[in-house]
Structure 1
Amino acid sequence: MRVRDGLFKLIGLCLVAGVLVAGLLFPAAGGAGILSNQMSNTVDDLSADLTSNQSPLVTRVLDKDGNQIASLYDQYRLPAAPDQISQNMKAAMVAVEDRRFFDHGGVDWKGTLRAAINDVGGGSTQGASSITQQYVKNFLVNVVHRNNKAEQLRDQEANIARKLREARISMQLEQRMSKDQILAGYLNVVTFATNVYGVGAAAKTFFDTTPDKLTIPQSALLAGMVNNPIVLDPWKNPDKALQRRNFVLDKMAESKAITKQQAADLKNEGLGIVPERKLPSPSCVGAPDYAGFFCDYVKEYLEENGFTKDQIETGGYTIKTSLDPKMSKAARDSVKKSVAPDSPNVTNSFAVVGSGPQAHQVQAMVSNRTYGIDADEGGRSYNVVSDPSVTFGGGSTFKIFTSAAALENGDAGLNTVLPNPKSVSVKRNGAPRFEQPQHTSNLNGTGPTISLRSALEKSPNTAFFLLENKVGLSKVLQMAQRLGLRHTMQSNTIGNPPITDPDDQRSKDDRLNQPQSKFYQTKLSFTLGVSAVSPLEMSNVMSTINSGGTWCPPNPVLSITDRDGKPVPVPSKPCEQVISPDVAKALAQGMSEDTIGGTSAAAARAANWNRPDFAKTGTTNSNESVAFAAGVDNYGVASMVYSDGSNPAPLCGGKPIVAGCSGGDKGGAFGGSAAGPPYFDAFNAILGDKKVKPVPPAPDSMLTSGDRAPVVPYVVNQDVDSAKEALSKAGYTNVVVKETTGKAKQGTVLAETPQGNVVKGQQITLYTSDGKQQ
């Protein structure tokens, strides 16, 4: 029997050796050669990937001062160069995984043939893979196919085809990389525990140290764990982990990396791991409470501008943002004074955007809520600051858009007297005969007439209802889009994407199946701010006015560098002059009295506020949401307080603000009294003794109604040929077209500047999509 067994082993050995040699050296020979030939097209690519080692890394998000606010990752991996890994770690891994690593050329033939004889003879299966081959396998599993379970299983199949591929790539690697580079590559890609990849992350997780400082017993523990990270978890199975570590110490002694006496002495030491496993949060949930929503917006902004989620979470980028920690903390403290963080039904969202003609950098995005999944603790997993999350609306802050359209078209100036009855029933201009009149009334009587300047201060409904009808709804809606409500106007009335699936019953509801830009074409209630709005976009509206009428995207990113420290360009939408500087000055001047004698004056006095600014308050009819939008110094600001629970209720006045008044004993909340105080409190702290910036005076031409410079056609979202034709017909023939990165079909106009009152003959620049992000 022994002779026969030996013969079978010899035959098996010959077969395995023949297949390996044929497959590796003569790719066209036999079945194994055919398999090898089929794989040859990918081998060079894989070898190149392994050489560059583009493994998933942690992306760091920093504030403007360079302080880290979040880690974003799919795999927790902290890369280490060969000279940043201790010799102890290298010796331990070689001793236990591949004693002949420094002698073979990528494949340990002796070990491979020994394992083959053992496997053919019916013994326990032996892998016999070299460290180079293990590097290949782990790279395929953890990097190339990390999102493909089926391919990961194939990467680990016990068959000759896989072994051939690994062997061929390993032999190529040995020609391209030094042994030290291969060993470091393996140590950077291998799994040490669930979501702990590479020796850098392992050193940090288990010992709170860096890989260059790993001791002999620490190195032995880590080297032993890669054999079975789950079973050898030192927190869950300390005895098994200790047994494995001591085994590695013996192997280190056998390989002469340490002496037998050292191994014996070190076996008496405990595991020495940190008390509990603590990985940094892989998402914005781990950011400080003043930075969570901002961090989430950074991701949203980058994805909108061409980055993929996977790129962000694996690219190893360093993203320096515009988040101002001092401002953010002051704003966070202020909103928490206004509304308790664990309030069951009330959110106070607060956003600050910098002003300027070249960029609008987002400075702060905070809430009494935190960015997280624990709703009982006040966590919100959606972005309550950037999303159109204020579902009940911004109230009278939307009167800004009616005022801007009226000023631009000459339908009113700041001193124009407007009719202001106690209540009105209005037939919409251009409405078909069967359409019923629309109604509104004022909360308090303010007289039969009122100037536009005073109307912005006192905020009567009927005056703006009638003015909106005079200007035309389409112009007012377009103005909201132009000034900054870009995502808001594309959402439906409750702040979600329009529902167009015919199988969804909600798609039959016009409030839900259309964007606001379409739904409100026939509804004068738009000027009363009755539908969903984004606090961030509302703050950018004020920044646009504060920038002399220049809109820029609310940008949270200052710079990005890649894993090698090289700058990464960030595509961004171009800035646009969306209203003339004269209209912007008139709007600012018209709103400059609100904190002095208007709807927020009492709250301003209570806060000892004496800084020049311009502001507009808003309160919905049901008091379920209130708003305060302002421009001060070089910032646009929005504070919005709204009912957000599953059973929304009117907001009550008082501190802290709660939802659901008991018999009205506390009175309803209003924009000035509820949303205004966080603004005054925060900016008293933020601006301190800084020199004041006055609100510019309104040009004389904007004081009265009458002729204005013509309004250039708004051609955004049209194809470039149609846009140029429309401009030409209106007398604007000096048109420059510039292509920019975009998701829309190639040639679609993404931006237009200048807009509004533009003298004929002036150059109009159109930015068109290159279609590359489709």
Structure 2
Amino acid sequence: MDRKNTSFVRDYCQAQIARIKPVVADRLQRMRHPTLRGVALTLAAFPALMLLYVLVLIPFTPGIGDIRKAKVEQPARVFSADGKLLAEFKPSNREWVKLADISPHVVDALIATEDHRFYEHHGLDWRRTASAALHTFSGDRQGGSTITQQLARNLYPDEVGRAPTLTRKLKEAITAFKIEAVYTKPEILETYLNTVPFLYNAYGIEMAARTYFDKSADDLDVLQSATLAGMLKGNSYYNPVINPDRALQRRNIVLAQMVKYGRLSQASYASLIKRPLRVDFERQIEPPGPAPHFAQQLRKWLISWADRNDYNVYSDGLVVRTTIDSRLQTMATQAVMLQGNSLQGIANSAWGARAGCSNGHDLMQTFVRETPDYHAARDSGLSDEDALRRLASDRHFMQALCDSKTRVQADFLAIDPRNGQIRAWVGSRDFGQDPFDHVQQARRQPGSTFKPFVYGAAFENGATPDDTFIDQPVEIPLAGGEVWKPSDDEAPTGRPMTLRDALTYSRNRITAQLMQEVGPSKVARLARAMGVRDSRLDVVPSLGLGTSPVTLKEMVSAYATIANRGAYIEPVMVTRIEDRNGEVLADFAPVTGSQALSVDADQTLLDVMRDVVNRGTGSTIRSRFGIRGDVAGKTGTTQDNADGWFILMHPQLVAGAWVGFNDSRVTLRSDYWGQGAHSALPVVGDFYQRALRSRVIDPQARFPKEEPGTFSVWLAKAREWAGQLFATKPKPEVAAGTRHTPRPRPAVTTPLAASSAAAAASAPASSVASTPRALPPLLPPVVASAPQETGGFGAAEPASSPTPTPDAPSPDTGEP
């Protein structure tokens, strides 16, 4: 800026200052010598501004309609498909009681202590408010809220606010005036006493009476009423359970207030204050209902739906019609409890649970080191040895740790494959002890229950149940120089085994060879398409033996796809939502499934899985439980018998169970009981036995039989013709007692020696899947002497080291 412009700006500013100076001087003179008019205007300005601020705040406080809604609050009610009440979604653990059903001593103690002019004011006690303000300004902070103001704060904490500010107090007062305009005094008292919190998830005077004195609100005497009224000044500070001395002093203050305001005689007071504080404490737990884990998951879904559609789950009286069948839910719960209790006895014996898990000393030391008590002991300066010794000497600590680690867990899920509707859901043995939902939240290795995805992918590629692989040692190179060697309980026979028998008897070596031919990527894609959509699947050779952790909900959903002719339908929990008057707000009609597996391949897979229960690892479904219907299924067992699985398919219902422990390092320590066929299968078998006998599902129902399409017929004939044209016909010796091959057919072998396996592993999945099949000698397939499933995934070892190490990743413990 040049010098001329600078001079102009300076001159302009000086001129403006010269104009302002006289005005400022005049105002200062008036302030030194104020007039009566000026003083009056100044004094009136503050109330006017406050009134204006109050008017501005009114739209930001709860409206009259909201207050009326709170007065008639109705929680959402959840019903089963057959009309049974499953749950009520209340915002808290509260039971509403009428004022006439509350002891009059409670009302006397409340009014004498909290608001002795309750019947005289209209929401705001001006004298008490002014007195509280004077004490607060002098440094002795006091509360001046009336019962109505406290009710406003309790009913609308978000709208009124929680911060100790002038704005919050003004909102509270405005809301109190509105409440007084809508409620009568008895209604205000009733609403207040039914909404005020008393710790331990007890809301309202009825739950407080049960929690602290084990009686109903109408049975409370003067001392008990004074104790509960005294807690309102500070629940935690005057908690009669953990601070009995403070609660006793506060109780006596309440009694003195009752004397002061004429609600208790002086003689009674002199006698009552000498009595001790007697508390009969017991936490009040909401009844879990017949399907608590299902209700727990449904609550999350319903809150999200209500938020999107502008409804309140806790006050709008929604009626939710679910897919649960109460009869099947009861049967499932009984089956889980029966088998869980039976296995718990085996676990207690195996672990020496009553003796502090002495049989698992090394592992128990590991468990001790993982506890907060151990870390606290180390932080206090103790060595590892001293910390372990101290905790080991604590009998109650060791017993509690042992019980928690060795408690058998089990879950169950049943889905109608025709429409995806969930019919029964049991997330644990006991919701009170185990609220963690193992159906949807726990991810565990599925073991051999994952194998149908491998065989389904193979049948989709054109394989048939009669194709064979040689039962021989298998070595598959892995990244990092390791070699995976899947194993079975029985030694390799060197003979061909059909795919049908391999799945029926759950042979790992055959499945591993088939997995190499199909390709892990295709198996993973098929599993996702069929229902395993939330868990991560590692695309590695061992995936086919179930090494990637999944949920029971995903697995049962995928098996429902098999039972639904290869069409996946997302599991459904709700069929309809209504308002309190029965008007339909939302109707969830059945959806058409998306085809995940071709009908022909699916029918082939289903037929092969019938043999699992007819003569394979799941045959006790027939022999022990007497189930004669058209069913198919698969057992599953993981490394070291950490997880037991069984899933059974019926045309109208698909159900599965998992059994294990929260910590996968804990097992039943039994090669027999650890098998899915002996741990999880009885849960499913018991359930189906009950359901079929009661005719809840039809014993005569059959899976629909699909006639093969023209292309499928042509392909089968072409394969047979090619096999007859090019197959050699040696004359092998047939072992006595073995099953003969009914006709010559093409067969597949994959002799995975180290060199050929390396080549297959390095080739793309598509090239592996399209490799021409070698034709083996026509030997009879091997049939297992007893249907026993192997629980191992095999081992992976470095090529240069003879020491095997586990290949399968550790399963997710599913621990809450």
Aligned ranges 1:685-700 → 2 under 5 Å:
685-688=690-693, 690=695, 692-696=699-703, 698-700=705-707
Q: Which of the residues 256, 279, 282 maps onto 1:277?
A: 282
Residues in 1 aligned to 2:225 and 2:134: alpha-carbon distance in whole angstroms = 32
Q: Are 1:250 and 2:263 matched, yes or no?
A: no
Q: What are the superposed Cα offsets for residues 429-465 of structure 1, whole Å, 9 maximum, x if unpaired?
A: xx9xx99997656654577444444343233345444
Q: Does 1:539 align with 2:556?
A: yes
Tell me the residue number matched to 1:460.
Answer: 507
1:22–1:333 distance in 2 versus 1, CA, 3 Å: farther
The correspondence of residues 500-511 of structure 1 with structure 2, limited to 5 A, is none
Tell me the residue number matched to 1:527.
544
Residue 360 of structure 2 is aligned to residue 351 of structure 1: no
Aligned partners of 1:75 and 1:314 also within 8 Å: no
Unaligned runs of 5+ in 1: 1-17, 146-150, 373-378, 492-515, 658-668, 709-774
CA distance in 2, matches of 1:50, 1:187: 16
Q: Distance in 2 between matches of 1:347 and 1:193?
A: 33
Q: Equivalent residue of 2:124, what SS? A: coil
Aligned to 2:530: 483
Deviation at 1:532, TM superposition (A): 0.9
- Deviations 1:542-571 (CA, angstroms, capped at 9, x unpaired): 333334444333345577778999877598
For 1:707 and 1:244, the matched residues in 2 are separated by 95
Q: How far apart in 2 are the matches of 1:251 and 1:355?
A: 68
Q: Is the 8 A contact 1:136 1:169 kept in 2?
A: yes
Closer/same/farther in 2, CA of residues 384 and 704 from structure 1, 3 Å limit: farther
The residue aligned with 1:677 is: 682
2: CA distance, partners of 1:348 / 1:109 = 61
Scaled by the length of structure 1, what TM-score is found? 0.63
SS at match of 1:76: coil
CA displacement at 1:333 relative to structure 2: 0.9
Q: Is the 8 A contact 2:641 2:675 kept in 1?
A: yes
* Residue matched to 1:169: 175
Give the secondary structure class of the aligned counterpart of 2:334.
helix
Q: d(CA) in 2 for partners of 1:455 and 1:62?
A: 44
Q: 2:657 aligns with which of 639, 643, 659?
A: 639
Alignment of 1:266-665 (within 5 A): 275-280=280-285, 287=288, 293-299=293-299, 322=324, 324-340=329-345, 344=405, 347=408, 349-367=410-428, 370=430, 382-390=436-444, 393-407=445-459, 409=460, 411-414=462-465, 416-424=466-474, 440=486, 443-444=489-490, 445=492, 448-488=495-535, 491=536, 516=537, 519-520=538-539, 523-556=540-573, 576-578=593-595, 579=597, 583-601=601-619, 604-608=622-626, 610-620=628-638, 623-632=641-650, 634-642=652-660, 645=663, 647=665, 651-654=669-672, 657=673
CA offsets per residue over residues 703-734 of structure 1, 9 Å max, x none?
Answer: 996679xxxxxxxxxxxxxxxxxxxxxxxxxx
Letter of the 2:617 partner, please give it.
T
How many residues matched? 607
2:121 is aligned to 104
How much has 1:74 moved relative to structure 2?
6.8
Q: 1:689 to 1:84 in 2, by over 3 A?
A: closer
Counterpart AA for 2:462: D
1:629 Cα deviation from its structure 2 partner: 1.7
- Residues 470 and 494, structure 2, Cα contact 8 Å, conserved in 1: yes
1:191 corresponds to which residue?
Answer: 197
Q: 1:704 to 1:616 in 2, by over 3 A?
A: farther
- Tell me the distance in 1 between the aligned counterparts of 2:248 and 2:646: 61
Q: Which amino acid aligns with 1:243?
A: N
Is this contact kept in 2: 1:221–1:248, CA < 8 A? no
Against the structure 1 CA distance between its residues 109 and 670, is the aligned structure 2 distance closer, same or farther, given a 3 Å change threshold?
A: closer
Are the equivalent residues in 2 in contact too, given 1:411–1:471 (CA < 8 A)?
A: no
Q: CA deviation at 1:363?
A: 0.6
* Cα 1:240/1:551, change in 2 over 3 Å: farther
Partner SS for 1:326: helix
DSSP 3-state at the match of 1:459 = coil
Q: Deviations over 1:108-156 (max 9, x none)?
A: 2344345556667x69655443332333344455x558xxxxx63x23x
Identical-residue share of aligned pairs (%): 24
The aligned residue for residue 240 of structure 1 is 249
Residue 253 of structure 1 deviates from its aligned partner by 3.4
Query: Is the 8 Å Cα contact of residues 428 and 437 (structure 2) preserved in structure 1?
Result: no
Equivalent residues of 2:336, 2:410 under 8 A apart = no
Contact 1:633 / 1:692 at 8 angstroms: preserved in 2?
no
Q: Distance in 2 between matches of 1:650 and 1:123?
A: 66
1:93-172 correspondence to structure 2 within 5 Å: 93-113=110-130, 115=132, 127-139=143-155, 141=157, 144=159, 152=162, 154-155=163-164, 162-172=168-178
**Mapped partners of 1:123, 1:304: distance in 2:** 47
Shift of 1:351: 1.6
Give the conservation status (yes or no) of the 8 Å contact 2:512–2:541: yes
Equivalent position SS for 1:701: coil
By percentage of residues, which structure has more helix? 2
Corresponding position of 2:384? none
**Structural mapping, 1:69-88, within 5 Å:** 75-79=92-96
Question: Which whole-Å deviations, capped at 9, do the CAs of 1:628-675 have from their partners, x for residues lacking one?
Answer: 221136322223344653645695234xx3xxxxxxxxxxx4343444
Cα deviation for residue 614 of structure 1 reads 0.7
CA distance in 2, matches of 1:614, 1:653: 24
CA distance in 2, matches of 1:539, 1:20: 76
Q: Structure 2: how far apart are the matches of 1:411 and 1:108?
A: 86
1:384–1:163 CA distance, 2 compared to 1 (3 A): closer
| C-alpha distance in structure 2 between counterparts of 1:96 and 1:621, whole Å | 66
Once residues 711 and 500 of structure 2 are traced to their aligned partners in structure 1, the CA distance between those partners, rounded to angstroms, is 11
**Aligned residue runs from structure 1 range 222-233, under 5 A:** 222-233=228-239
Distance 1:250-1:199 versus aligned 2 partners, 3 A rule: same
Whether contact under 8 Å (1:345, 1:648) holds in the other structure is yes
The 3 A distance-change label for structure 1 pair 612 and 162 is: closer
Note the alpha carbon deviations across 1:60-103, whole angstroms, 9 max, x for none: 87777888887877743334567776776556544443343333
Cα deviation code 1:314-344 (max 9, x no counterpart): 9997877626123212222123323547665
Task: Judge which range, 83-92 or 547-556, deviates more.
Answer: 83-92
Distance in structure 2 (CA, Å) of the matches to 1:22 and 1:563? 51
Q: Deviations over 1:293-324 (max 9, x none)?
A: 5455445655787879x987999978776261
Which residue does 2:788 correspond to in 1? none
Measure, in 2, the Cα distance between the counterparts of 1:346 and 1:278: 24
Q: 1:689 to 1:137 in 2, by over 3 A?
A: closer
Gaps of 5+ in 2: 1-40, 352-404, 716-816
Alpha carbons 1:91, 1:252 under 8 Å: kept? no
Instruction: Compare CA radii of gyration and give the structure with the larger one.
Output: 2
Q: After TM superposition, give the deviation of residue 355 of structure 1 in Å.
A: 1.1
In 2 relative to 1, CA 583–210 (structure 1 residues): closer, same or farther, beyond 3 Å?
farther
How do 1:178-217 and structure 2 match up within 5 A? 178-193=184-199, 195-206=201-212
Q: CA RMSD in A?
A: 5.1
